[in-house]
Chain A
């Protein structure tokens, strides 16, 4: 009995913006189930009074003067873009025009 279902995998894939075929879904039900079962070993530890640790360093916020500094050229910024025009990244249609 796996810890997670096909529906769980489909839900998480939706959150992660991934499209999975049926074979991948089935494989992930088993693999994620096995891995999550293994992770459940953490439940044997009492962590009631333990503060969660996000980071190993004692970090303080870093402030700097609000000064204009040299930054990347537009040419450099856009040179890796799959599609761009002028100062814009081009993407496919966002709004469905049948709605308006």
Chain B
């Protein structure tokens, strides 16, 4: 059993992060592409699996092109949907239609820019493989008023993982749909239960607020905070259980995987990260990144069942970073 190890430190990462943030602000955002590459290279270069570190190849220029396009699209979206509310349908339609393209290109870019033992990862799926799943299934989710959503998520995770490859060695993945429904159902219960507590709390607090008008805003803040915490818990629960489930059902040439993320651990991590970031006005971001990464690595393992020599895929073309950056800026979560 092999676990990834992280050799960096929050203090070291902070020094890189803050200097890169300074240059990014000085250059009005342009340097952010170089900053991204340097930060990513720090994290990859400090992560080792079975004695060898990872390598990140992406060029800052490629990432910059994607970011410029993404920022332009973002401003157009923000302003046009406000001025002409009906235009949201145009953006939505474009987004749904382009999703398969953006998703496949982003995943391929990220995979090909990552390497281990001198061998690049790959994502050889074609855009047309993604079309039936993402267009058909998203329509189904709408038509069933969301009932098909966990099914869609199961198929989505399966698509993403099973199209990844290390060199020419593909990964296989079969996510059991029934288990995904169970996980989403329990996450829904967590939100419903904790929202009920928040509402009851608000009912108790509002007479107090009447008596103490100076502290009145607290009575409004506390229930909102409780609902935030409920979402954080539900989110952490979904993340932990889904990640574990996906990796348990993933296999590659001579390898299996295990993931043992804990929902409560992860929720604690998210909430403490949030508090630290708020109270340090953002300075705790690098620390939060490093400890989250560490926790995830401690709970991931690769089981080598058979010694296989993995080989490189023959063609590795240069592709644009556009897809990746669009995906990142609109916060579409492509990872597993």
Are A and B associated in one complex? no
